[in-house]
Amino acid sequence: QVHLVESGGGLVQPGGSLRLSCAASGLTFSSYDMNWYRQAPGKERELVASITNTGSITNYADSVKGRFTISRERAKNTVYLQMNSLEAEDTAVYYCNAVGRLFLPRTEYWGQGTQVTVSS
């Protein structure tokens, strides 16, 4: 019933920009903290950015700080990741993650991922 669907990935040149979207359904969007993770071939999954359920607090991995921005749009049940000044090292599958931090027990959901490739 719960679905997280990522979109917006693709091929972009170094220095370019992409905006990823994650549309959530089957959950009360405002009750979930939202995160973007990424995983590159041969590497562990990495937390890229997070935003609290109300959007009041955001956090970023050091590797993307100043280049990426996470946001959420309540009316569309969607979280975004604006990625600027992209580098080859940003190439990865990006995953949307929803965490029900306020629930007992804690609940968590994952999207299927969207590929981002940064290459000239």
DSSP 4-34: EEEE--EEE-TT--EEEEEEEESS-GGG-EE
Tell me what pLDDT residue 75 has.
95
Tell me what pLDDT residue 102 has.
84
Nearest-5° Cα angle at 100, 111 to 47: 55
Residue 75's region, left for phi above 0, alpha for psi from -120 to 50, else beta, is alpha
Tell me what pLDDT residue 103 has.
85
pLDDT truncated to tens, each residue of the chain (120 aa)? 999 999 999 999 999 999 999 999 999 999 999 999 999 999 999 999 999 999 999 999 999 999 999 999 999 999 999 999 999 999 999 999 999 988 889 999 999 999 999 999
Q: Identify the burial level of 95 via C-beta atoms within 10 angstroms of its C-beta, where 0-12 means exposed, 13-18 middle and 19 or more buried.
A: buried
Question: In this structure, what token pair is assigned to residue 37?
Answer: 């993770």
SS3 (DSSP) at 118: strand
Residue type, 55: G
